[in-house]
Structure 1
Amino acid sequence: MFRGKLNAYRSISLLALLAGFLLMYGAIVSKGLPLLAGGLMVAGFLFVIGSGLSYFLIGALSMRAVRVICPTCGRETKMLGMHDRCLSCGQRLTLDPRFREEGKKE
């Protein structure tokens, strides 16, 4: 479903943002019940703030990610950790020399 760890984190943050908007919309719809509307508004606000913070952290992670050239598509991509996927084509990438040598043997 996701191509690369960075895209997975970004997608989760986007879903949290949308959930926050839906909760706040639910608060507007349920304005006849003030306690429920207030709770939904606060929960939605917290989801939106949390999503913003996670986008900030993803940006910080992205700045320290290792840039590599994908052997399949030839594009530059970013890797988090020792194993990741290309952000463009989804090719599995590794920085571990043991796995690179095993791939050459096959």
Structure 2
Amino acid sequence: MYMLFSGKLNKLRTLALGMVFIGIVIMYIGYAAFAGFLGTLFAQNTIIMAIFLVFGFLCIMGSTVMYMWLGMVSTKATQVYCPSCGKVTKVVGIRDECMFCKQPLSLDPADAHTNRHTP
């Protein structure tokens, strides 16, 4: 589970995936209110349902744009070998962490003394 949140790219991908699920839940709440599952106050109210469906759709589209942007960032990220686990990982920006073992990594030579693995 901790590998899911390691590295900038994986954190942003997890956020984008969460936005997809949140959008689906928002859309489902809108339909449930329209169908009367959430009480009679919003039953058969097409305006409420349309608002929830539009907000859910915008959340899913925002996630799609984020995935496209992350794909472009991922292709330009610098690939390095992690000194701790020996796997190839991508570094976004000057400082990042290994996607596999959370080893702090830096492309700045001045940070070479701080690249120690802390369990």
Same fold (TM over 0.5): yes
Q: What whole-Å deviation, never above 9, does each CA across 1:58-93 have from its counterpart, x for those lacking one?
A: 000000000000000000000100100000111100
Unaligned runs of 5+ in 1: none
Of the three residues 47, 51, 65, the one matched with 1:39 is: 51
Counterparts of 2:12 and 2:70, CA distance in 1: 7
Residue of structure 2 equivalent to 1:84:
96
Equivalent pairs, count: 103
Of the three residues 7, 16, 19, the one matched with 2:19 is: 16
Of the three residues 31, 49, 70, the one matched with 1:28 is: 31
What root-mean-square deviation, in Å, do the aligned CA atoms of Structure 1 and Structure 2 show? 1.3
- Which of 1 and 2 has greater Rg? 2
Percent of pairs identical after alignment? 35
Unaligned runs of 5+ in 2: 35-42
Residue of structure 1 equivalent to 2:75:
63
Counterparts of 1:36 and 1:88, CA distance in 2: 44
Name the SS of the counterpart of 1:25 in structure 2: helix
Residue of structure 1 equivalent to 2:84:
72
Q: How far did residue 27 of structure 1 move?
A: 1.3
Q: How far did residue 103 of structure 1 move?
A: 4.0
In the superposition, the TM-score normalised over structure 2's length comes to: 0.82
List structure 1 segments (4+ residues) > 6 angstroms apart after TM superposition.
none
Structure 2 counterpart of 1:59, which letter? G
